[in-house]
Amino acid sequence: MTVALDTSALLAIAVDGAQRAVVLDALDADDVWCASAMALTEALPAIDRLTDEAVVRADLEDAIRLAWDHLHVVPLDQRCLDRAAALSREQPVRLTDAVHLAAAERLPRPVRFVTFDPAQIGVALGLGFDVVST
């Protein structure tokens, strides 16, 4: 099985808490880890909303970039973006969420999709993903 992380799951790797344990368990269960190319781009500015402490921000960024080095990155080419646009029009998800889902659709099945975004869960299940969340 392939594990696909959205931005919330990528962030959870670096932040202590229950969600971190969920992501790490999912990663431990499989050897192939993936994320859309947009996940890192979204995660880095999200760090700034987690804390005002510069040292903590730097530690979080280091942890996220270290995790990123172990992920297969699904490119956001025009085919992927077109699929994301269609998903966003057909489903109750924002375009940014649809990008993660469209990228995960490009992966060989079965796919375990890790997200903590409630808007993505139902759509991911409808796409046939095994969803991991809290």
- pLDDT tens sequence across 92-133: 999 999 999 999 999 999 999 999 999 999 999 999 999 999
pLDDT of 35 over the 90 cut: yes
Q: Is the peptide bond before 110 cis (omega within 30 degrees of 0)?
A: yes
How many whole angstroms separate alpha carbon 77 and alpha carbon 63? 27
pLDDT of 50 over the 90 cut: yes
For 69, the token pair is 């080095």
Closest-CA residue to 35 (of 1, 86, 66, 76):
76
Structure confidence at residue 77 (pLDDT): 97
Confidence at 1, pLDDT banded by 50, 70, 90: confident
pLDDT of 87 over the 90 cut: yes
Domains (range + CATH), the chain: 2-132 (3.40.50.1010)
